[in-house]
């Protein structure tokens, strides 16, 4: 045997290989733990979008191992069916005469939420703060809905 082959079996070389093997195992453990945490955050963001925005995002991830790490590519997008439904509702409702722009926007948000909730199988809320501040009180919301109903009744009686 040559001296190079025999030198691999010397105690100091075996120790270096053992150290490298243990370092590799630890790095793999840390990278896996970090990747799992990233996936957890991605799933949480997806749940948040459904509960807070009322919009289900489609999320696709791909993971590639790189030296001492991982590359995670995230593709998040709104389903084309939902986009089509939003477009349909906006087009239909903007053709109606709603008076001032504030009332029209409130009405649009309210109608859009109802339409998407019924067509996407129980989505809890939709675009809750699309046009107004996040601190809209329940009384303001009730008032806005009452205004919308009054506007609808007014436009119905005018067209009769």
Convert the pLDDT of each residue in 24-52 to its tens digit. 999 999 999 999 999 999 999 999 988 88
| Helices and strands (H, E) in the chain, number of each type | 5, 2
Query: What's this model's pTM, rounded to 2 decimal places?
Result: 0.51
Cβ–Cβ under 8 Å, residues 27 and 68? yes
Phi, psi of 10 (to 5 degrees): -70, 150
The residue that leads in pLDDT, 54 or 128, is: 54
Extract the runs of DSSP E, i.e. beta strands, from the chain.
57-66, 69-78
Q: What are the tokens at 46?
A: 């997806």
- The three-state secondary structure class of 96 is coil
- Domain residue ranges of the chain, discontinuous segments joined by +: 3-78, 80-159
The residue that leads in pLDDT, 30 or 129, is: 30
């Amino acid at each position: 045997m040559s001296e190079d082959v025999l030198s691999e079996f010397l105690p100091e070389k075996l120790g270096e290989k053992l150290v490298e093997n243990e370092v590799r195992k630890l790095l793999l453990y840390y990278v896996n733990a970090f990747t799992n945490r990233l996936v957890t955050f991605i799933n949480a963001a997806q749940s948040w979008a459904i509960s807070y925005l009322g919009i289900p995002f489609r999320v696709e991830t791909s993971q590639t191992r790189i030296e001492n790490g991982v590359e995670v590519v995230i593709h998040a997008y709104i389903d084309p069916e939902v986009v089509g439904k939003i477009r349909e509702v906006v087009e239909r409702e903007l053709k109606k005469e709603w008076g001032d722009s504030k009332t029209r926007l409130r009405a649009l948000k309210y109608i859009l939420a109802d339409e998407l909730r019924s067509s996407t199988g129980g989505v809890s809320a939709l675009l809750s703060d699309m046009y107004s501040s996040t601190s809209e009180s329940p009384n303001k919301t009730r008032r806005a809905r009452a205004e919308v109903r009054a506007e609808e009744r007014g436009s119905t009686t005018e067209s009769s």
